[in-house]
Amino acid sequence: MTEQLRLMAVHAHPDDESSKGAATMAKYVSEGVDVLVVTCTGGERGSILNPKLQGDPYIEENIHEVRRKEMDAAREILGIKQAWLGFVDSGLPEGDPLPPLPDGCFALEDVDKAAGELVRQIRSFRPQVVTTYDENGGYPHPDHIMTHKITMVAFEGASDLEKYPESEYGPAYQPVKLYYNQGFNRPRTVALHEAMESRGLESPYGDWLKRWDEFERVERTLTTFVPCGEFFETRDRALIAHATQIDPDGGWFRIPLDLQREVWPTEDYELAKSLVETSIPESDLFAGVRENG
């Protein structure tokens, strides 16, 4: 492969990049791959999830600015580039019945028009590989589902000069592989849960697995397992940099890194589209790209 390898990860909010595929990105950065995270919204309506920071008036009044600074810190830790699409966080509607989404939010944007902003990023960065969420958003947050929608349109639209003219969006370009993040899959969760219990440790995944059964979540097809255990610590540091969104003493970090590396040393993906030949299962998001470059 003589051409520079480039990976684009499309995410809904700042912090999503650090909880979904961060070790993969850090691994590829270490190998010289150019990695760009595109963040669709500013996370303006996100809750302050770290109990240590709840009630801080400065954070509550300046959440947009705070989350941008957190993203800057995570970007530096991961060694990636990052771009904002500039849409407004939709929030996560709660209640029965669910309240309507707020006017002007990302999830209510016209899909084709919003995808045009991502087309502009794709044509400028020219990634061979794009990652995003599946049609369920990974979980049914309206911004995650919208992120899926615009990424699917942009993946095809980046090469469509009739729909997205060069004069406005830049020269046509076609990525060749599209993946869905599937890091929170049942086989991984079960393996880590059982490994913790077998060692006499308290697993944080017991309730997760009960809810999994209750919601009858459909299992996805895992196609690609990227070995990146040596970058799990980098992943965790990037996530902790999003201080408003994660409690460093919470359940997210209760599985020892050595156990994770032993039991499940990969981050996992579902190959959604490929314009190059590849063999499943894969261990590299660029499988078929390196050989055809």
92-139 confidence digits (pLDDT tens): 888 878 889 999 999 999 999 999 999 999 999 999 999 999 999 888
**How many domains, the chain?**
2
Indicate if 241 and 286 belong to the same structural domain. yes
Indicate if 105 and 204 belong to the same structural domain. no
pLDDT interval class at 293 (50, 70, 90) = low
Indicate if 276 and 157 belong to the same structural domain. yes
58-101 confidence digits (pLDDT tens): 988 999 999 999 999 999 999 999 999 999 999 988 887 888 99
Indicate if 80 and 191 belong to the same structural domain. no
Whether 225 is in a domain gets the answer yes
Interval 238-251 mean pLDDT: 92
pTM score, whole prediction: 0.95
Whether 31 is in a domain gets the answer yes
**Domain end position, chosen among 173, 198, 219:** 219
- Residue 155, pLDDT above cutoff 70: yes
The average confidence (pLDDT) of the chain is: 94
* DSSP code for 68: H
Indicate if 179 and 192 belong to the same structural domain. no
Tell me how far apart the alpha carbons of residues 179 and 28 are, in angstroms, rounded to a whole number.
15
| Domain extent for 65 | 6-185+221-292
* Per-residue confidence (pLDDT) for residue 47, from 0 to 100: 85
Whether 18 is in a domain gets the answer yes
- Residue 215, pLDDT above cutoff 70: no
Whether 1 is in a domain gets the answer no
Tell me how far apart the alpha carbons of residues 268 and 273 are, in angstroms, rounded to a whole number.
16
Indicate if 179 and 191 belong to the same structural domain. no
* Per-residue confidence (pLDDT) for residue 139, from 0 to 100: 81
- 112 carries a ligand binding annotation: no
Indicate if 108 and 76 belong to the same structural domain. yes
Phi-psi region of 18 (alpha: psi -120 to 50; beta: other; left: phi over 0): alpha
* Per-residue confidence (pLDDT) for residue 63, from 0 to 100: 92
**Domain end position, chosen among 219, 243, 266:** 219
Q: Residue type for 120, please?
A: R
- Residue 216, pLDDT above cutoff 60: no
Indicate if 62 and 140 belong to the same structural domain. yes
Indicate if 106 and 177 belong to the same structural domain. yes
* Residue 55, Cβ density class (10 Å: 0-12 exposed, 13-18 middle, ≥19 buried): exposed
Q: Which of 45-49, 116-120, 211-215, 243-247 has the lowest mean pLDDT?
A: 211-215
- 141 carries a ligand binding annotation: no
Whether 209 is in a domain gets the answer yes
Whether 156 is in a domain gets the answer yes
The answer to whether residues 85 and 132 touch, using CB atoms and an 8 Å cutoff, is: no
**Domain end position, chosen among 168, 196, 219:** 219
- 242 carries a ligand binding annotation: no
Higher pLDDT, 211 or 277: 277
Tell me how far apart the alpha carbons of residues 104 and 42 are, in angstroms, rounded to a whole number.
13
- Residue 172, pLDDT above cutoff 90: yes
pLDDT interval class at 217 (50, 70, 90) = low
Whether 106 is in a domain gets the answer yes
CATH number of the domain bearing residue 150: 3.40.50.10320
Indicate if 160 and 286 belong to the same structural domain. yes
DSSP string, 210-242: HHHHHHTPPPP---EEEE-GGGHHHHHHHHHHS
Indicate if 213 and 285 belong to the same structural domain. no
Spatial CA neighbour of 151 closest among 40, 225, 45:
40
Interval 281-292 mean pLDDT: 94
- Residue 1, pLDDT above cutoff 60: no
Indicate if 205 and 279 belong to the same structural domain. no
Whether 271 is in a domain gets the answer yes
Higher pLDDT, 181 or 48: 181
